Amino acid sequence: METLRTIEEVREWRATGELGFVATMGALHEGHASLVRASAGANARTLVSVFVNPTQFGPNEDLAKYPRTLEADLELCKTAGADAVFTPDNAMMYPEPYRTWVEVEGLTDRLCGASRPGHFRGVTTVVTKFFNIVQPSRAYFGQKDAQQALILKRMTADLNLPVEIVICPIVREPDGLAMSSRNRYLSEDERKRAVGLSKALTEVRKLFESGTRNAGILRGQLITTLDDYVDKLDYAEVVSAEDLQPVNEIEGPTLVAVAAFVGGTRLIDNVILVDRDS
Ligand code: PAF
């Protein structure tokens, strides 16, 4: 496996042929490994980027303390089947004076976008830049960031970017906790309570499967369960999986999405409800 440090090195390395791309911020875990494996299984070569993108963090967020574990990340990439890892620095990605941004309207101002203003502008900008540098045939993202996945699909379609977006399932710990780089911030007690997000979503899914279609009832159940586990709820929403608009009665594919603080750590999780009959 090669380590590429500059944009020029990536351009040289990128020959013709199917190239899979996995964008990450490092602190890699089994969830990322599943993306790399999916890419390696479907493309001649796979490139992973490791870049803690400063423009997607708000002023009071965890940019400075975001975990950086490059040695272990390189090992995970190699084991999962990556052919190269690209590790640019801030000056390379945002040369001064930097003035160009990519923004997707509408989908970005709710859920995570409401509590993290500017976050998705940072994500869409850096992903567009990576697409232009790497020029992948396919790019792999996790369903755990459901809103990010939807926004990146919209952006790729709207801008006619010649890349196929592949969304891979959430990978969970044995007790149900969705894998996240931020899980490593959790103390022992917080780790036990963090399972509340997936527990609450599982209860909602069961309620849905037993016939409940009223979004208010499902949301009420979600919040009641979360209250027993988390320290602060950011949001708990039942929205259309297509446009993120709130729904009253569930008719089409529906996203149930949660963001909550356990101690000082903000965690997210979600489930998509689909009517078997629809
Ligand atoms: O999902 C992430 O880790 C980041 O938002 C991404 C897509 C790597 C962009 O920095």
User: What CA dihedral angle connects 201, 107, 242 and 22, to 10 degrees?
Assistant: -80
Residue 56 Cα: closest atom of ligand 1: 10
Nearest residue by C-alpha to atom 1 in ligand 1: 24
* Residues having CB within 6 Å of any atom of ligand 1: 23-25, 53, 56, 123, 126-127, 145, 148
* Boundaries of every domain in the chain: 2-168, 181-273
Q: 138, 164, 137, 145: which is closest to 153 by C-alpha? A: 164
Read off φ and ψ for residue 145, nearest 5 degrees: -90, 70
The structural architecture, per CATH, of the domain 2-168 is 3-Layer(aba) Sandwich (3.40)
Please check the confidence at residue 108 and state whether its pLDDT lies above 60. yes
Q: Is 29 part of the annotated catalytic residue set?
A: no
CA of 51 to the centre of ligand 1 (A): 8
- Residue 107, H or E segment: none
pLDDT for residue 163:
98
pLDDT tier at 278 (50, 70, 90 boundaries)? low
* Mean pLDDT (whole number) for 149-171: 98
- The CATH superfamily holding the domain 181-273 is Pantoate-beta-alanine ligase, C-terminal domain (3.30.1300.10)
Q: Note whether 2-168 and 181-273 share their fold.
A: no
Q: Which residues fall within 8 angstroms of residue 62, CB to CB, at 6 or more apart?
A: 182, 185
* Mean pLDDT (whole number) for 237-242: 98
Q: Rounded distance, CA 33 to CA 30, Å?
A: 5
pLDDT for residue 277:
65
Helix axes 119-134, 146-158, angle to 10 degrees: 50
* Mean pLDDT (whole number) for 117-122: 98
Please check the confidence at residue 19 and state whether its pLDDT lies above 60. yes
pLDDT tier at 257 (50, 70, 90 boundaries)? very high
pTM over 0.85: yes
Tens digit of each residue's pLDDT (9 = 90 or more) over 37-86: 999 999 999 999 999 999 999 998 989 999 999 999 999 999 999 999 99
Tens digit of each residue's pLDDT (9 = 90 or more) over 216-236: 999 999 999 999 999 999 999
